[in-house]
Chains A and B, each alone.
Chain A
Amino acid sequence: QKEVEQNSGPLSVPEGAIASLNCTYSDRVSQSFFWYRQYSGKSPELIMSIYSNGDKEDGRFTAQLNKASQYVSLLIRDSQPSDSATYLCAVMDSNYQLIWGAGTKLIIKP
């Protein structure tokens, strides 16, 4: 069974520090990887997508992908209280279906 694993947290990070969120996946042929942010009671919203090994930066967010290790991470620099949310990792499998992780709850402490 294809799986996407995330630490459920909560992960507590001081304001201004770097938050590091991790995700591992089991399907070696996966090609597309996504990070979504979900505030309580709201639908997920896309933060980052990454398709190639290495780093992809967008503002304060950096996604890192290592296909050999089947590992994708999201770094949030200069963390703000508004970044407090649950972050969902999603991986597209060989059938073009998104497999979702359980999410990591991030708390940014002022």
Chain B
Amino acid sequence: GAVVSQHPSRVICKSGTSVKIECRSLDFQATTMFWYRQFPKQSLMLMATSNEGSKATYEQGVEKDKFLINHASLTLSTLTVTSAHPEDSSFYICSAEGTGTRAEAFFGQGTRLTVV
């Protein structure tokens, strides 16, 4: 299957600072990537759909000014959590999906963000 690399795997930051998470597709071109957030013992929650060369599409309730998404190339999407607060502490996962009706999702390793 395809390989998606996400970095960093863990980050601890101070409240009020910003954190950037990178998601790279290593062996294919991903015109669309997805960013999820997962709180403990809960399912994946789609935050936004990242489109190469255009603005991201955010899900209802997700602040676009707080969670900045950039998809500047076909292999790289970044999520920046701006002015992080403790309630932003979560597991953030990116994925790239194939095209067509049989598309499956390939996930990055995830980033455990802890805001102190």
Taking Cβ atoms with an 8 Å cutoff, the residues of A that contact B are 31-32, 34, 36, 41-46, 49, 51, 88, 90, 92, 96-98, 100-103
Contact = CB atoms under 8 A, between A and B. Distances in A.
B34 to A, nearest CB: 8
Interface stretch (B14-22, B69-77, B104-112): B104-112
Given A34-B105, A49-B104, A102-B42, 17 more contacts: A41-B91, A41-B110, A43-B109, A43-B110, A44-B44, A46-B1, A51-B102, A88-B43, A88-B44, A96-B101, A97-B49, A100-B43, A100-B44, A100-B46, A101-B43, A102-B43, A103-B43
Nearest to A103: B43
**Is chain B's interface secondary structure helix, strand, loop, or mixed overall?**
loop
Interface of B: 1, 6, 34, 42-44, 46, 49, 91, 93, 97, 99-110, 112
Contacts of A46: 1, 104-106
B110 A42 contact: yes
Nearest to A90: B105
Given A88-B43, A102-B43, A103-B43, A32 B110 contact: no
